[in-house]
Amino acid sequence: MSSDVEDLILTFSCDDKPGIVAAVAGLFSLQGFNIRESSQFEDVHAHRFFMRTLLESVEGPKRISDVKSAFQSVADRYNMTWNLCDNRIKPRVLIAVSQWGHCLNNLLNAWKGNSLPVEIVGVVSNHEEMRALTEWYGLPYHYLPVTKDTKAEQEAQILEVMADTQSELLVLARYMQILSDNMCRELSGRAINIHHSFLPGFKGARPYHQAYARGVKLIGATAHFVTAELDEGPIIEQSVERVTHANSPAELVQIGRDIEAVTLQRALRRYGEHRILLNDKKTVVFNR
């Protein structure tokens, strides 16, 4: 793909101070860009400013390296953590799964229908159950079995697949293995998990049975970035569904799986559209 671009997405965060938006808008006006969409957020407690902007060139194609060089002066002035990317390029994603395919199937169906703004490049798994589904969608399936003694080796293989496929994100679509601390550090900000519960409640195994035992009236699911602290990563997306005393544990499991699939797809869509910015242990998610 040509390095000349017409549509760009800028995301950044920095300490809040006067003049940030004016400086950004002024710079891109001078570079011949129009702002098509812009979202901002000020964290008044952390004194941090967050912004996502969709830019359109009104002067024809621009070389992205030149635009980045021009923006560097503004970024340095405000000490920004920033990213400027070509809106045509979809993030490359590798999916990890174990034995349940509801989240995987939902993602692959959305991807195949061009409604998910990412490029899924393959699936890794510690089981063989999802091979047929994956290959039906024309994607490579990497069977990487794991035991307690081979965990480090298997995680190295996952990282190798990510490198070979140039994947920037690993999506844990009900991958029932806890990543090691080293793996979590290696993939900091680059791995998303779907947790089968509305965090922070009902962690660990059999959350829907825990919910049934407590007689809850709402069940849900949480998509979050992976960290070494189990199920404590920055939350990206959450969904809930109302239930009653009449729902059995099996019904709660089925309702929960539907919620998980929808929640993970929403989180991945936000990622593909560059709408997620990390804010310490939280996220800023710019929805439409």
Q: Is the whole-model pTM more than 0.85?
A: yes
pLDDT tens-place string over residues 149-162: 999 999 999 999 99
Ordered domains of the chain (ranges, CATH): 4-86 (3.30.70.260), 92-285 (3.40.50.170)
**242-287 confidence digits (pLDDT tens):** 999 999 989 988 999 999 999 999 999 999 999 999 999 999 999 9
Block means of pLDDT (10 residues each) for the chain, 288 residues, are 81 98 98 96 96 96 95 98 96 98 98 97 98 98 96 98 98 96 97 79 71 81 93 92 91 92 98 97 93
pLDDT of residue 140: 99
Hey, which residues are catalytic here? 231
DSSP per residue over the chain, as a string? --SEESEEEEEEEEE--TTHHHHHHHHHHHTTEEEEEEEEEEETTTTEEEEEEEEEESSS-EEHHHHHHHHHHHHHHTT-EEEEEETTPPPEEEEEE-S--HHHHHHHHHHHTT-SSSEEEEEEESSSTTHHHHHHTT--EEE----GGGHHHHHHHHHHHHHHTT-SEEEESS--SPPPHHHHHHTTTSEEEEESSSTTSS-SS-HHHHHHHHT-SEEEEEEEE--SSTT-SPEEEEEEEE--TT--HHHHHHHHHHHHHHHHHHHHHHHHTT-EEEETTEEEE---
Tell me the average pLDDT of the chain.
94
